[in-house]
Structure 1
């Protein structure tokens, strides 16, 4: 599951060091427009993620994963052959649209197997492994450019996806219970998705996760300009970016260690409150002026708190939907990717050569997320709700 999700992260992070080269070679004049190669992919991923879950609720998880991986290989190769920036954006948009199931299916498969705080623990372990990709991806991208040019970055993506396609074909079992298969009928699909939206206990966490994802995408979109250019990290950018991802992976391990004991709600709600406090403190520090080695600890602390929020919010939001985990996962991925990508694109495009817009967005985003959680929890925080044990069918 971590490897499947990691291909989505790879499609973003591996090309970060190449954005300048790509924009130069393909004739991009506005430096902020280079971010569209990421933003378009994320927005289309959000749109596309609305459908794989319902398809998987009918035909199973395995066929959807195999189809998405095949398309990933083909469109990665297509990106490596483009001759202008518009064509690249079209390829990236199609890629985001048709391989979005790689973000949806792991959540559905995990929900097929686990529930409650146990599901949150497993999701954290998957996310911990998944976070290794941002740690290495920019370095891999920069290494590829040193020996073969930026086009080969997309060829490497295709090769890695091909290897995973073979592994899934040989090893991934089908996890959908035949009794839970849903018909492909518009009325049923819309009804299953509407259940997720109407469920107050899930809605606040679902939308809160989307807001936090938007701030994270805003950081990803502007990270190369902030670290590499504004703070003067230069060629150290991939190492610093990877170091932040490494610490985030460690935080997922800590989350997996404590979430069953403390509960997903307590851990994630505390993280949101601390996140807001750090964002405000960093904003004050930025206004007074700061250098690279003051900025890095602040952004690392903020991103670490996002790891405590994301996987726990996902498990809380999916908990009520054991029979329709695919549709619920699609709504979750749709909101996180589409809303997150739109917010992230806006945050990236208002980059003004400083980190102030990013941290204003973080403070606002954290506050809005807290309000959404309060809505789902009816104004009461730090409760621990233990769901009844799942009934396991004999045989």
Structure 2
């Protein structure tokens, strides 16, 4: 049944959500605010690792001999490549071993990758370290979603994810400022030491305060048959597959923005050391949207908000191109903010809702499904960002154009996903 504004939250089957019983008892010992903060810290390591290094791009390029924007973008894309691969590993194993063990393994690999980047003597060695960082941080990034799905479903999960994503965005919004400060005090390599320190804090916090949410009687052995059946479920359940792909097309332009923001603000607009503040301004729009979404989703529902945000994203990006046409697609900075702040607000609404919609009907295989959703959407986003990165010319043409194209494609994907979902529900009802 399609969700309508004002409708009551749908109730998921007990066998799939397990919001009661052992999992809830063990996890809900944590106060609500502490639970949200811990989830946000561990999930934000990925965004923090992306954003805090941005102010050091020019210094890294000069020191390691790769100053071209297309080369420096690899510092971001290789990290996301590791993230995409890693999610396929941790998700299934968290279904078998439990959520906490999978997260701990990821944090150890993440620390090794940061150590390698810290001591790197060549650009290639730095990229290997960045790949390992992505491979490691995929653990907390994907398993945290499965952990939350162990406890919540539907709009309740969307509400929790909105709080988490709000903190998830606000922390990295300050990351460039933090990275620039650390770089000025102790050099760009010391940024990686900060990542090691934060991951250690998160790991210890998880170890001593958060209990396991997946009890032994609900664990699924990792075998070829279980992997195959879980993968088939993930790719044949309409909401999971459709919103998995939709999330990738929404994340693609945003990933392009992350990889070009330093050049856009520091080179095109000449902001220099003020870059972190310009970056934080747009990031705050995403964070604000995530917090407001936690209230809006309980009233209007995820599907309605996702469609409205997609229309808004396409509209704002189109207006940005129209009003910057006469200035060679380099609008005054104030005008860029006029259009991009509401655009990024729409992105904030989409992030939490699309991922929650993808996980709504796959609670019985939350680890594997979360891995596939995260990995497939990241690979799609990385392909879009990489391709459009070569088109990027220092203006907003490639950036706004990608938001328009991907927004329209996502609207089509959502339309057919909902039709497929309705047809499948009708067929299952007739079968019963």
Measured after TM superposition, the shift of residue 196 of structure 1 is: 0.8
Contact 2:111/2:133 (<8 A) preserved: no
Match of 2:84 among 19, 36, 46: 46
Contact 1:53/1:330 (<8 A) preserved: yes
Residue matched to 1:369: 410
1:40-62: CA deviation from partner (whole Å, max 9, x where unpaired): 11122112211211100011001
Deviates further, 59-68 or 27-36? 27-36
Structure 2: tracts of 5 or more residues without a match: 1-38, 423-432
Match of 1:79 among 117, 122, 125: 117
Give the distance between the partners of 1:27 and 1:276, measured in 2 at CA. 38
Contact 1:227/1:292 (<8 A) preserved: no
Alpha-carbon distance change, 176 to 379 in structure 1, aligned in 2, over 3 angstroms: closer
Structure 1: tracts of 5 or more residues without a match: 382-395
Give the distance between the partners of 2:307 and 2:409, measured in 1 at CA. 13
SS in 1 for 2:101: helix
Question: Normalising by the residue count of structure 1, what TM-score does the alignment of the two structures yield?
Answer: 0.93
Match of 1:158 among 192, 196, 210: 196
Alpha-carbon distance change, 380 to 111 in structure 1, aligned in 2, over 3 angstroms: closer
Match of 2:181 among 143, 147, 166: 143
Match of 1:67 among 98, 105, 108: 105
Contact 2:314/2:403 (<8 A) preserved: yes
Give the distance between the partners of 1:48 and 1:73, measured in 2 at CA. 14
Contact 1:48/1:96 (<8 A) preserved: yes
- Whether 2:141 is the aligned partner of 1:103: answer yes
Match of 2:354 among 288, 292, 313: 313
* 1:172-187 aligned within 5 A: 172-187=210-225
**Number of aligned residues:** 381
Give the distance between the partners of 1:176 and 1:349, measured in 2 at CA. 44
Give the distance between the partners of 1:217 and 1:372, measured in 2 at CA. 20
Question: Normalising by the residue count of structure 2, what TM-score does the alignment of the two structures yield?
Answer: 0.86
SS in 2 for 1:82: coil
Residue matched to 2:342: 301
1:268-311: CA deviation from partner (whole Å, max 9, x where unpaired): 11111111111111111221222111112322221110111111
Give the distance between the partners of 2:415 and 2:157, measured in 1 at CA. 22
1:246-281: CA deviation from partner (whole Å, max 9, x where unpaired): 222111111001101111111111111111111111
Give the distance between the partners of 2:225 and 2:281, measured in 1 at CA. 47
Contact 1:217/1:344 (<8 A) preserved: yes
* 1:116-127 aligned within 5 A: 116-127=154-165
Give the distance between the partners of 1:297 and 1:221, measured in 2 at CA. 21
Give the distance between the partners of 1:180 and 1:241, measured in 2 at CA. 43
Residue matched to 1:331: 372
Residue matched to 2:394: 353
Give the distance between the partners of 1:216 and 1:29, measured in 2 at CA. 23
Contact 2:58/2:67 (<8 A) preserved: no
Give the distance between the partners of 2:257 and 2:338, measured in 1 at CA. 14
Match of 2:296 among 232, 235, 258: 258
Residue matched to 2:272: 234
Runs of 4+ in 1 over 3 A off after TM superposition: none
Residue matched to 1:131: 169
Contact 1:46/1:338 (<8 A) preserved: yes
1:105-150: CA deviation from partner (whole Å, max 9, x where unpaired): 1110111000111110110000001112221100011101111110
CA RMSD of aligned residues (A): 1.5
Contact 2:45/2:137 (<8 A) preserved: no
Give the distance between the partners of 1:2 and 1:336, measured in 2 at CA. 20
Residue matched to 2:28: none
Match of 1:244 among 275, 282, 289: 282
